[in-house]
Amino acid sequence: MIGSMPHKEAKPASALVSRYLKEIPCWCQLPKRSFLENVYLQFSEGMPGVIVSEQEKKIRIDPNKANDADVERLLTASEENDFDKFPVSRSYAEGLYEFLNESSLSPLAVKGQVVGPVSFGLTVMDSGGTPIIYDETLSELAVKLLRLKAGWQEKKLSGLHRNTIIFVDEPYLTSLGSAYVAISKERVKNLLEDVLSGIRGIKGVHCCGNTDWSLLLGASVDILSFDAYNYADTLSLYPDDVGKFLARGGAIAWGIVPNSEEALTKETPSSLKDRLEEALAPFTRKRVRFSELIEHGLLTPCCGLATLSEEATESALSVLDDLSQKIRKAYLRA
């Protein structure tokens, strides 16, 4: 799953993960527990010049408050890969610490997540109200911070299982090419690669809308996660890129389970199986083998689940589990 849950306490959220996501469990982001768990705030701790406003539930970066000692500390830690200098504290990620204390897991891998540099840079403003991605210095510091957060998280998760997956979540990549985002494709890739360079294990990237998929398929990621419930046709426009991605061992996480309560009430594991097969069909017509898509495939909700009720969240994960079993029985088992 992507990470976010609607719960205000970590234990019941983690219990659902343990129940339904046995193969690849992840820690839960809980934005309703604390404003600090908003994805754009959650990984800001330690950023030079950061100002957190509890009243506004926002952060901003004031360059005038970024003193030299803090900047030097961040730069040195990044250069030396000293991940322990920039942890994610419990107050920012209660679900992570709950997950780290799990003793009943026997998974194939464990998953964590960090906000991506483009989404962080476009959301977090400087003191003048300009996104920090347009400030070369602040943007560089943010990228190094996120790289350290990803590396620290991976180090901690490796205590649960030797196979770790860290996702870089980039919802704002849907804005690429628009009149409102003046960032080149090359710069986006460089920012992303800088953060990915802090991850030694399995690397993933998630985007929950339409974007230039060739950029992500050509990046140094092992898993591409996207909203296949609403945007499956957008990825099918890149059959050659998908084919090359799979050929080098990449996997696609098909976000085929909807994260809206209205849509969930209309779907069943069988209807979603049909929908997934329809999403895969265009690739097979363009010389990407169906068996390869299945064997190199993961199933997820289309995005985070924090907007759902707790009951609907369990329903989504239950449907996901049932759908996975259906697909395995149909295509992966004799």
Question: pLDDT tens digit string along 26-36?
Answer: 999 999 999 99
The label of the residue with tokens 């030079």 reads 48
pLDDT band, very low/low/confident/very high, at 77 (cuts 50, 70, 90): very high
Determine the Cα–Cα distance for residues 116 and 175; give it in Å rounded to an integer: 14
Instruction: State yes or no: pLDDT of 50 exceeds 70.
Output: yes
Ordered DSSP codes for 101-130 = T--S---S-EEEEEE-HHHHHHHSEETTS-
pLDDT digits (tens, 9 = 90+) for 211-253: 999 999 999 999 999 999 999 999 999 999 999 999 999 999 9
Look at residues 148, 149, 147, 132 and name the one whose alpha carbon lies nearest to residue 63.
132
Structure tokens at 40: 């754009």
pLDDT band, very low/low/confident/very high, at 58 (cuts 50, 70, 90): confident
User: What is the predicted pLDDT for the residue at 243?
Assistant: 95
Determine the Cα–Cα distance for residues 237 and 225; give it in Å rounded to an integer: 16
User: What is the predicted pLDDT for the residue at 264?
Assistant: 96
Instruction: State yes or no: pLDDT of 146 exceeds 80.
Output: yes
Mapping DSSP to helix (H, G, I), strand (E, B) and coil, where does residue 173 land? helix
User: What is the predicted pLDDT for the residue at 27?
Assistant: 98
User: What is the predicted pLDDT for the residue at 168?
Assistant: 98
The average confidence (pLDDT) of the chain is 95
pLDDT band, very low/low/confident/very high, at 54 (cuts 50, 70, 90): confident
The label of the residue with tokens 């190199």 reads 296
58-61: strand order across its sheet: 50-53, 58-61, 125-126
Given its phi and psi angles, is residue 57 left (phi above 0), alpha (psi -120 to 50 degrees) or beta?
A: left
Mean pLDDT throughout 100-111?
Answer: 92
Determine the Cα–Cα distance for residues 157 and 163; give it in Å rounded to an integer: 9
User: What is the predicted pLDDT for the residue at 176?
Assistant: 81
Determine the Cα–Cα distance for residues 315 and 334; give it in Å rounded to an integer: 29
Structure tokens at 229: 């419930």
User: What is the predicted pLDDT for the residue at 321?
Assistant: 97
pLDDT band, very low/low/confident/very high, at 159 (cuts 50, 70, 90): very high
Determine the Cα–Cα distance for residues 185 and 227; give it in Å rounded to an integer: 21
- 130 versus 56: the higher-pLDDT residue is 130
pLDDT digits (tens, 9 = 90+) for 318-330: 999 999 999 999 9
Mean pLDDT throughout 67-75?
Answer: 96
Strand-pairing partners, residue 26, are: 111
Instruction: State yes or no: pLDDT of 75 exceeds 90.
Output: yes
Total residue count of the chain as it appears in this document: 334
| Among the ranges given (52-56, 179-183, 294-298), the one the predictor scored with the smallest mean pLDDT | 179-183
Q: pTM for this one?
A: 0.95
Contact between residue 94 and residue 10 where contact means Cβ atoms under 8 Å apart: yes
Please state at what angle helix 269-284 crosses helix 228-235, rounded to 10 degrees: 10
User: What is the predicted pLDDT for the residue at 9?
Assistant: 97
DSSP 168: E
User: What is the predicted pLDDT for the residue at 3?
Assistant: 93
Instruction: State yes or no: pLDDT of 334 exceeds 60.
Output: no
Instruction: State yes or no: pLDDT of 68 exceeds 90.
Output: yes
User: What is the predicted pLDDT for the residue at 55?
Assistant: 83
Instruction: State yes or no: pLDDT of 287 exceeds 70.
Output: yes
3-state helix, strand, coil in the chain (%, to 5): 50, 15, 35
pLDDT band, very low/low/confident/very high, at 21 (cuts 50, 70, 90): very high
User: What is the predicted pLDDT for the residue at 104?
Assistant: 84
Please state the φ and ψ torsions of residue 318, each to the nearest 5 degrees. -65, -45
Mean pLDDT throughout 283-303?
Answer: 94
Determine the Cα–Cα distance for residues 260 and 51; give it in Å rounded to an integer: 33
